[in-house]
Amino acid sequence: MLLRFILLLAATSASIAHAAVPANCMQCICNVESNCRVPSPVCQYDVGSLSCGPFQIKDNYFTDAILQDRGLAAIGWKTCSSTRSCSERAVQAYMARYAVSRRLGHQPTCEDFARIHNGGPNGFKRSATLAYWARVRSCLG
């Protein structure tokens, strides 16, 4: 049992080790999404589907995060979204999957992280995410 836990922990750490959303960027995304508060109720309807927690994570986003950090599956979307630390873990996993230099053509920046968070895997290319990025950039100062 202990060995299984250690292997799971190692796999989880390895899967998110290359995700590099800087703390200030993560904080500003959180601020823009919810003023960094866990809403009550945790999940609320937004753009036709539920968004949960301080990062307003949708089910499909969480499912993609699990592909990078399998340990999230055991926690579950709504439970994970109910805490900031687990929500950040899910965001890091999602970014480790999509905000990578081989997809972007450059090292990811806070702009890439914010626009992907807001607009999905290709959000960094969508003009619809520019206003969201402006809000995150304003928070960064």
Give the pLDDT score at 20.
Answer: 83
Average pLDDT over residues 123-139: 98
Rounded Cα–Cα distance for residues 71 and 12 (Å)? 6
Q: What is the pLDDT of residues 19-58, one digit of tens each?
A: 489 999 999 999 999 999 999 999 999 989 999 999 999 9
Residue 57 or 16, more confident = 57
C-beta separation of 94 from 66 below 8 A: no
What is residue 84's predicted lDDT score, i.e. its pLDDT? 97
Q: Is 33 a catalytic residue?
A: yes
Assess contact for 27 and 21: CB atoms under 8 A.
no
Is 46 a catalytic site residue? yes
Task: Check 33, 69, 88, 112 and give the catalytic one.
Answer: 33
HEC states along the chain? CHHHHHHHHHHHHHHHCCCCCCHHHHHHHHHHHHCCCCCCCCEEEECCEEEECCCCECHHHHHHHHHHCCHHHHHCHHHHHCCHHHHHHHHHHHHHHHCCHHHHCCCCCHHHHHHHHHHCCCHHHCHHHHHHHHHHHHHHC
Average of pLDDT values for 103-108? 95
Contact status, residue 93 vs residue 123, Cβ threshold 8 Å: no
